[in-house]
Structure 1
Amino acid sequence: MDDKPKYKRRIVIIKRALQFKYIAIVLISMVLVAFTVGWDVYYTVGRAIMELETPGLYPIMVKINNLMLGKLAVLLVIVFIIAIFVSHKFAGPIFKFERSCDTVADGDLTYRVHLRSGDELVELQDKFNGMVSEIQKKISGDKDSVKIVVEKLSVISSRLSQKNISPSELSEILGQINGIIAELNKISSGFKI
C-alpha cells in the first residue's frame, strides 16, 4: 500500500505577488526591529566606551558589530524560508478557491473544495461548500419544477391542437396555464437577480 500523502506540495510559490508581499512585510518588519534594537544597543554601548576612553574596546566593538550583521543575514535567510512555507499555507488555498470558483461558475455544482490538512482557510472551505450545496439544492428543485411545467405545457399544447374545444375545456386549460405561471414565478423567486 502506498504511504505517500494524498496531496503532496510540489510548488511552494503558487501566488507570487501575494506571497512575496507577505514575505516582504515579514522581512522588513524583522529588519526594522533588528536595526532599531541594534542601533539602541550600539548607541548605548558606544557612549559608554567613549566615556571610558579605552581605545582597546573599539576593535572589539567592530568585531561584535560584524558578527551581529552576519547573524542578521543568516536570520534573514531563515526567516525568508520560513515565510515562504507559512505564506504557502494560505496562498495555496486561495489558489484552490480561485480555481474552484471558476469550476462552479462554469456550472459544475457538484464540485467541492478539499484543502490539505494544515492549510489555512478551512472555515472558508466549509462556507464555500455549504453555499454551493444550497445553490445546488435550489437549482435541482427548480429543474424538477421546470420538468413538471414542460410536461403540463405538452399536454396543453396537444389539447389546444384539437379543433373542437368546448368552453369548459378552454376554462380548464386557462386554469392550468395560470397554475404554470404561478409555478414559474415560484422558480424565479429562489434567487435575487
Structure 2
Amino acid sequence: MRSYRRRIVYIHREYQRSFILKSCLVALAAMVIAGVLLYFLSRETITATYQFHHLALRTTAEAILRPLLITNAVVLVCFLFATIFMTIYVSHKVGGPLWHFGKSLKSIGEGDLQVQIRLRENDQLKEFADQINEMTQSLNGKAREVQDQVARLRAKIQAPGCEGPELGNDVERLYETVFQVFKTQ
C-alpha cells in the first residue's frame, strides 16, 4: 500500500477553528468560574504574607489574586496549544478520511465505479471505507452484467437474420435484469 504523507494541516478550516475557539472558551469559562468562586470564598479569611521583606496580614483573596491570575493564564495558554495540536493533527484521522469519502463518492456519483478509497494505516473510519469499497465493487459487477447483456443484444441486432420475437425476448430479459439489479422508484 502506498504511504500517504500529510501535506495539508487544515482540512476543514472553519470546523477546526470553531472547535479550537469553543474548547478554549469552555476552558476559559471554567477557569473564570473556579477563580471567582475561590476568590469570593476566601475573602473572609486572613493570611499572613511575606512580601518585600515585610510580614503583612491581608485577606486570603488579596493574597491569592495575583498567583491565581498567573496560574489561570498559564493553564489557558497550555490548554490552547494542546487544543490546537489535538484539533489540527488528531482530527486528520477523521477529517482526512471524510475528505477522501467526499471526493470518492462524487466520482462514484458521476459513474466511475472503479474508485477505491485508500486510507492511511492509522486513519479512523477504515471499516466504513471498506463498506463503501464493497458497495462500489458490487455496483460495478451489476453494471458490468447489464453492459454484457446490452453487448449481446447489440450483436444480435447487427447479425444477419435478426428475428423480431427473439429480439423482443432479449429486450424483455434486459429490462428485467435492469430492474432486478437497480432498485429505483
Q: Normalised by the shorter chain, which TM-score bucket?
A: 0.7 to 0.9
Matched pairs, number: 172
Cα 1:177/1:58, change in 2 over 3 Å: closer
How large is the Cα RMSD of the aligned pairs?
2.4
What's the counterpart of residue 183 of structure 2? 192
Distance 1:56 1:127, change over 3 A: same
Larger fraction in strand: 2
Structure 1, residues 49-72: CA drift from partner, whole Å, max 9, x if none?
A: 59xxx4164543122222223223
Higher relative contact order (CA 8 A, sep 6+): 1
Counterparts of 1:58 and 1:42, CA distance in 2: 5
What corresponds to 1:86 in structure 2?
Answer: 90
- Runs of 4+ in structure 1 over 6 Å off: none
1:18-43: CA deviations, max 9, x gaps? 22233333333333333333333333
Counterpart in 2 of 1:128? 132
Kindly indicate whether residue 35 of structure 2 is the aligned counterpart of residue 69 of structure 1: no
Q: Which structure has more helix as a fraction of its residues?
A: 1
Instruction: Provide, for residues 149-173 of structure 1, a one-character-per-residue CA deviation record: whole Å limited to 9, x for no partner.
Output: 1112123xx326xxxxxxxxxxxx2
TM-score with structure 1 setting the length: 0.76
Q: Is the 8 A contact 2:153 2:170 kept in 1?
A: yes
In structure 1, the gaps of 5 or more residues are 161-172
2:17 aligned partner, one-letter code: F
Give the gaps of 5 or more residues in structure 2: 48-56
Q: Give the alignment of 1:40-51 within 5 angstroms.
A: 40-49=37-46
Does the 8 Å contact 1:100/1:112 carry over to 2?
Answer: yes
Matched, 1:114 2:105: no
1:15 aligns with 2:18: no
TM-score (norm 2): 0.79
- Give the distance between the partners of 1:187 and 1:123, measured in 2 at CA: 30
1:17 and 1:119 mapped to 2: Cα distance?
21
Residue pair 2:107, 2:115 contacting (<8 A) in 1 also: yes
Residue type of the alignment partner of 1:99: K
Corresponding letter in the other structure for 1:192:
K
